[in-house]
Structure 1
């Protein structure tokens, strides 16, 4: 099975046309799909003037794409003024209008970015050197973000990581399936025993869902600027796979909790089976987690306070629990949000994320000790 998602007819031709709206992209030679992202549509552009990344922003997910572009522009401006201590960020290029995006006839937003030379994404994190490099990169990003005035940045994805909200959405999706079934619609693919088993697992963890939200409301932790999606696929490495160069996909940069970022990064990097692995093969590698967190603490000493360290284990299990709910919600709703390759893929991913939660919980004592050792 290929990682590449099928494109609608004519989409490559549209992408080629949109690339021509950016003056830096002289004499477009080739446009090909790039990566396997589940939200935006991404293309590699080869032109006489160089190589670029072209993206169509998914406005069904991001309701106000200009806010995204303004956030990224502000971040890049701040990084340019900070010198070598700032994280590296892929450069954005202006369109013919001098804006950082152009629009197609359907109102879609397109942007053009630098393609970082001699860079790769890792199919998996295989050793502690790679994990530590990712941790250092994320720590550098968070340390830099903490120095910026948060009020200057927009919230681009309201409700992001509002785990209790996703729990309510899951109940709503279940109710909709029940209504469809009673009305005579075929809901067999949504109401089977696998779904029931996953719902039971989620309900058993209802007490965990509001822990970070409650800590924020109580004032023991605070918001700062976060990446919002620091998964393994959004980290570029050098060709040798040893040095982490930069974080990409900055759409979700906004005020938020660094614990959400750290939990998401650990979820993605420390699961040996990967997101598409079989649920029975899922394993949370505590050794990789230790290396990643060690790299983070090295790059951002003192950024995590006592309250964050105490909540770090809860963040580790909360993020895969939340993502598992999101995959399950999308399965119940007919795969409307995440792009899928086949019916049932979201259900399979939900099972894998909840299996990861269970494996993290099996290692609770050790992982809590690891978190406290960072203080």
Structure 2
């Protein structure tokens, strides 16, 4: 059991039934940032209790304000179309003093959600039937295998973007400054390269030259935004396939989760991030670069699923840059891994020396593969636009 007094924390929230009480808790999910627990209550109901990692999310109050505004807006949209908001968006539980988070005596921030039943998640790009169930509250019945969960997940992220596109003012908080700005990520890389505090630059000259030779790519999308050629939109900024819950009976993606990074940004960055995660051919830190690249088949499925919804609201300029966004996000994440390696591995956790450099190499190899197949990628986009 964790050292946190979860029963005491749970008691500060308002459950659906005021008579129910804390019974047990277990660690839950595969996330690496927040601490997540599944709570079982006295009337056999589950809740999800999370400790927000305020070392990563340094503005937890603003994070919670964003999540509350987004989920409240989504509930209205879902109700208007006759859906079920208890299943199709996250439901925050209020505290007993009508707040959306609890701060414990150690300064930790906690939130609680309803636990959505009869759903499953898929790991990133997984083609198998192995899954992580999001709830053990089974209601019986046969589980179905989605015809293609990659395509369905992309459509789910597009539906999320569509539904939050008209969230009323004020602008959502930018809870992590310049999070999806590749220009900023390039500046961070250059700074780490110039400082070279651990004298590591000599061992990654090819990666440094690769990055420097693509300096112009870093500013393309941000320049389009500044010139108002593409709009700022509400972005999810963590569009991994396992952030979509699938109904176990229909195989449909019904709910987008992990909303900590929802903030103002670029819709097509989200698409690029989904491609980076789901279409990868190898592990993120694979050392054998002959195994590394991206799957054109999965890119096609992601594009088909995403544009089946997103073509309703994206501008022509945004669609024109979808293929580029996939390439750019892989480049951006590679820059971040390289900068962290040069800075002493201060942001991304490592299990072995040089792991962040290996991660950088896989991203840059993927970028190279995308550059070589870029005309085909654009043709795929044009097929579904």
TM score, norm. by length of structure 1: 0.86
1:314 aligns with 2:324: yes
Q: Match of 1:229?
A: 238
Match of 2:208 among 185, 199, 204: 199
Alignment of 1:65-84 (within 5 A): 65-82=60-77, 83=79
* Aligned partners of 2:158 and 2:310 also within 8 Å: yes
1:142 aligns with 2:161: yes
Displacement after TM superposition at 1:340 (Å): 3.8
Displacement after TM superposition at 1:372 (Å): 2.6
1:293 aligns with 2:312: no
Q: Match of 1:7?
A: none
1:171 aligns with 2:190: yes
* Aligned partners of 2:124 and 2:240 also within 8 Å: no
Match of 1:154 among 173, 180, 196: 173
Distance in 2 separating the partners of 1:359 and 1:150: 41
Displacement after TM superposition at 1:21 (Å): 3.0
Displacement after TM superposition at 1:70 (Å): 1.4
User: In structure 2, do the counterparts of structure 1 residues 44 and 272 end up closer, same or farther at CA, with 3 Å as the change threshold?
Assistant: farther
Q: Match of 1:63?
A: 58
Query: 3-state SS of the aligned residue for 2:196?
Result: helix
User: In structure 2, do the counterparts of structure 1 residues 282 and 43 end up closer, same or farther at CA, with 3 Å as the change threshold?
Assistant: farther
Q: Match of 1:373?
A: 383
User: In structure 2, do the counterparts of structure 1 residues 313 and 91 end up closer, same or farther at CA, with 3 Å as the change threshold?
Assistant: same
Q: Match of 2:247?
A: 238
Unaligned 5+ runs, structure 2 = 128-146
Displacement after TM superposition at 1:277 (Å): 4.3
* Aligned partners of 1:132 and 1:295 also within 8 Å: yes
How many pairs are equivalent?
356
Distance in 2 separating the partners of 1:281 and 1:15: 44
Displacement after TM superposition at 1:253 (Å): 1.4
Unaligned 5+ runs, structure 1 = 1-9, 179-186
Q: Match of 1:110?
A: 110
Q: Match of 1:4?
A: none
User: In structure 2, do the counterparts of structure 1 residues 343 and 41 end up closer, same or farther at CA, with 3 Å as the change threshold?
Assistant: farther
Q: Match of 1:99?
A: 99
Displacement after TM superposition at 1:300 (Å): 3.1
Displacement after TM superposition at 1:137 (Å): 0.6
User: In structure 2, do the counterparts of structure 1 residues 221 and 44 end up closer, same or farther at CA, with 3 Å as the change threshold?
Assistant: same
Q: Which runs of 4+ in 1 moved over 6 A?
A: none
TM score, norm. by length of structure 2: 0.84
Query: Residues 315-360 of structure 1, C-alpha deviation per residue, up to 9 Å, x if partnerless?
Result: 1111111111212222333333234444433333222222221221
Query: Residues 251-298 of structure 1, C-alpha deviation per residue, up to 9 Å, x if partnerless?
Result: 111221101111111111111324354543223112212122212222
